[in-house]
């Protein structure tokens, strides 16, 4: 008996992450690359999606979002918030699943994603890498243990083209630590320091952002105590971990009809 493959459509197929998703999809035996699409006016429209990774596959990049969504079971999107929401609306209209790895959403946009998940299944996570999600779980434990006498600082680094800061992953790390410490991140977060800032408040969680070169993504959560420091770090050397995690998300959604999930659900870490 042959198991039916999960058909995926890749958004932003001409971009760096899109190309990695195409490559990972072509390598996965249980995934069918059904469609690849990009923004209107992209120089990649009409090209074989596999040509961008020197692996022609017979799937042309299109700017017809509706047709791309219709061809797939699940849309995978790592683009920009406005584009992702437009693609989500089409997925909702057609009743298709969606994996969202895009970051930089505001509260209203996140609410829009949650509303869509009432009728279609959605995996929405700031970081799809399995290792990062293992770190999220480790942070829960660390924060519960290090709940007194430790200052928390979160340091993240990304490539020079990343448009949002702090990264979605850094913010999720802050949310996890704040939750376990019984704090509200919105009121205790400090995003950068300059000038005479005065003594550090015990309850704050600091964020530091680095942008430069081609750094894929580095994240460190520092618990600084008196006489010791504990650092929990994840470093990405390639986007392949994000792509493979996204495909795990697509497989997970194949058995769901609606609901909002994240990678902790996909990996069974709840």
What is the per-residue pLDDT across 184-225, written as a single tens digit (0 to 9) for each?
Answer: 999 999 998 999 999 999 999 999 999 999 999 999 999 999
What are the residues whose beta carbons fall under 8 Å from the beta carbon of 54, sequence distance 6 or more?
none
Measured CA to CA, the distance from residue 137 to residue 130 in angstroms comes to 11
pLDDT, position 269: 87
Structure token pair of residue 205: 């969680």
**Residue 137, pLDDT score:** 95
Let me know how long the chain is.
Answer: 270
Q: Which stretches of the chain drop beneath a pLDDT of 70? A: 1-2
Q: What is the pLDDT of residue 173?
A: 97
Active site residues: 158, 162
For the stretch 31-53, pLDDT in tens is 999 999 999 999 999 999 999 89
DSSP category for residue 14: T
Q: Which domains does the chain have, with CATH numbers?
A: 6-128+239-266 (3.40.50.720), 130-236 (3.30.360.10)
- In angstroms, what CA-CA distances link 229 with 49, 71, 146? 47, 51, 11
Compute how many other C-beta atoms are within 10 angstroms of the C-beta atom of residue 3.
7
**Amino acid 2: pLDDT:** 59
């Amino acid at each position: 008996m042959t198991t039916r493959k999960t058909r995926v459509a890749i958004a932003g197929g001409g971009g760096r992450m899109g190309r990695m998703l195409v490559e990972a999809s072509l390598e996965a035996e249980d995934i069918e690359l059904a469609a690849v699409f990009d923004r209107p006016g992209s120089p990649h429209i009409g090209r074989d999606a596999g040509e961008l990774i020197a692996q022609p596959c017979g799937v042309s990049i299109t700017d017809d979002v509706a047709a791309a969504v219709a061809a797939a079971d699940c849309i995978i999107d790592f683009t920009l918030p406005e584009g992702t929401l437009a693609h989500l609306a089409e997925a909702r209209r057609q009743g298709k699943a969606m994996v969202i790895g895009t970051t930089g959403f505001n509260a209203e946009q996140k609410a829009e994603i949650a509303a869509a998940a009432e009728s279609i299944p959605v995996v929405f996570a700031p970081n799809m890498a399995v290792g990062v999600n293992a770190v999220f779980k480790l942070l829960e434990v660390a924060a519960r243990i290090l709940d007194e006498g430790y200052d928390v600082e979160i340091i993240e680094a990304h490539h020079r083209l990343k448009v949002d800061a702090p990264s979605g992953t850094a913010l999720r790390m802050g949310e996890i630590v704040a939750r376990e410490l019984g704090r509200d991140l919105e009121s205790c977060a400090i995003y950068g320091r300059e000038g005479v800032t005065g003594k550090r408040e015990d309850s704050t969680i600091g964020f530091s952002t680095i942008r430069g070169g081609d750094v894929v993504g580095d994240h460190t959560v520092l618990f600084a105590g008196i006489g010791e420091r504990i650092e929990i770090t994840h470093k990405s050397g390639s986007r392949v971990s994000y792509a493979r995690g996204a495909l795990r998300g697509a497989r997970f959604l194949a058995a769901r009809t609606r609901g909002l999930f994240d990678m902790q659900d996909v990996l069974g870490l709840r």
